[in-house]
Amino acid sequence: MSESGPRFYAWCDEASRVDAFAAALSALVQPGWLIGVSMYCDAACDTTSMEEAAAMIRAHFKCDGGALVRSSVLLRASQRFILPDRRGPDFSLGIPVIDFGSCCCAEAYERLDARGPREPQGPLEMSPDENRDFFRFKLELAWGRGPRSIEAEAEVAWHIMQVDLEDLLLRLCAPDGSGRVRTGACTNAWRWNAPVATCATYNADAREVARDLAVSWVHLHDKDSVSRIAGMSLAALHARVDAAPAGARVPLKGGGERAHSLSRETVLKALAAPPSALLEALEAAAVPDEAWRAAAPRAAEILGLTSQLAETGEGPPTWPVYTDTYRHIRFLKKHPPFVVRRLPTGGVVLLTHPYCSLWPLWANALCSLGLMS
């Protein structure tokens, strides 16, 4: 697993975990690519057969309770921006493939081992071996005739990363439309933290989007691990929040002057609010701010020219751009981008850059509905 994010998580019932894990691997790993499977009982295999890998996991999971898989994953969005001079004769060179580690853990495995309680790991988790492989801090961009713009460069990097971030989250959480995974997230933290503090969340049922708030409250107030409470019913989460003392609050960062914390009463109001109203408020809060809109035309021009060059081999010369500078990161953190995506399956995805969190989006949405207290 990587030393620092992004880390992707998914929650499903224990009885469905192996099936959900196998479906996710099938969606993540290209056919014929090498898959390394390690069971915690020391059984292991290296194979190019997804069926063989899944069979080993199924054979040992009940008695072992955990499986670790290493494989390579193709970044589908980034693939569209591989320039012709970086491709081999078979178009294989330069394609953005990164090494990932993923695991599937049973509740019994997470709760105890010979040395005492374990830190929760999922139940399903995956992360790149090297975060720089995912973030792609260096980009080759076609400039055209316009001026250089740090803001536009940051936006271009986000647009490429946004598609990869959403794609990987959905390949883990919703690879086959089965609905096994109820909720999931992506975070730059070491562990699955409060959903409103992550950079992306997935809910299989958009009508349960308030789950992100309720799980965050229970995690921060009662100190329960997110991986163990993420899939609780809304009724059970409501009961946990309602049991807290009146006026209780939990601290949160990044929500601005009005939103340094989240109150018990706000969560209860959000759980009682019509889901459609919450979703519409989140969508309204996701509208880019003035600084982001000002840089958008130049970002779209650079993105279009680079995409054209990658597809046709014709276009202006490119220049290397490093997007991990202080100014790029400062712009993203000061003007965080948000995406609220309603899925055809009835689910919903909330996204922002991994350097940011979803709390400002939630804080603005809750304020607009008059629910913040």
Q: How confident is the model at residue 28 (pLDDT cuts 50, 70, 90)?
A: very high
Q: How confident is the model at residue 64 (pLDDT cuts 50, 70, 90)?
A: low
Residue keyed to tokens 């459609």: 276
Q: How confident is the model at residue 3 (pLDDT cuts 50, 70, 90)?
A: very low
Query: In terms of residue numbers, what domain contains 250?
Result: 7-287+331-368
Q: What does the pLDDT average to over 193-202?
A: 97
pLDDT single digits (tens) 252-269? 986 565 568 999 999 999
Q: How confident is the model at residue 367 (pLDDT cuts 50, 70, 90)?
A: very high
Measuring CA to CA, which residue among 139, 134, 161, 108 is closest to residue 7?
A: 134
Q: How confident is the model at residue 93 (pLDDT cuts 50, 70, 90)?
A: very low
- How many structural domains are present in the chain? 1
Domain membership of residue 313 (yes or no) is: no
Instruction: Give the per-residue pLDDT at 130.
Output: 83
| Alpha carbon distance 44, 251 (integer Å) | 44
Domain membership of residue 319 (yes or no) is: no
The answer to whether residue 136 scores a pLDDT higher than 60 is yes
Q: Which two tokens stand for residue 119?
A: 């830190």
Q: How confident is the model at residue 319 (pLDDT cuts 50, 70, 90)?
A: confident
Q: What percent of the chain has pLDDT over 70?
A: 88
Name the CA radius of gyration of the chain, rounded: 21
Across 85-99, 222-236, 262-276, least confident range: 85-99
Instruction: Give the per-residue pLDDT at 116.
Output: 46
Instruction: Give the per-residue pLDDT at 218.
Output: 97
Secondary structure of 52-116 as H, E, C letters: HHHHHHHHHHHHHCEEEEEEEEECHHHHCCCCHHHCCCCCCCCCCEEEEEEEEECHHHHHCECCE
Domain membership of residue 268 (yes or no) is: yes
Q: Which two tokens stand for residue 352?
A: 């922002």
Instruction: Give the per-residue pLDDT at 256.
Output: 60
Measuring CA to CA, which residue among 278, 110, 264 is closest to residue 192?
A: 110
The answer to whether residue 115 scores a pLDDT higher than 50 is no
Q: What does the pLDDT average to over 80-95?
A: 47
Domain membership of residue 127 (yes or no) is: yes
| Alpha carbon distance 218, 307 (integer Å) | 44
Domain membership of residue 71 (yes or no) is: yes
Domain membership of residue 200 (yes or no) is: yes
Cis peptide before 123 (omega within 30 of 0): yes
pTM over cut 0.75: yes
Across 83-87, 145-149, 184-188, 216-220, least confident range: 83-87
Domain membership of residue 88 (yes or no) is: yes
Domain membership of residue 246 (yes or no) is: yes
- Output 44-53 pairs: Cβ under 8 A, ≥24 positions apart: 50/22, 50/25, 50/26, 53/25
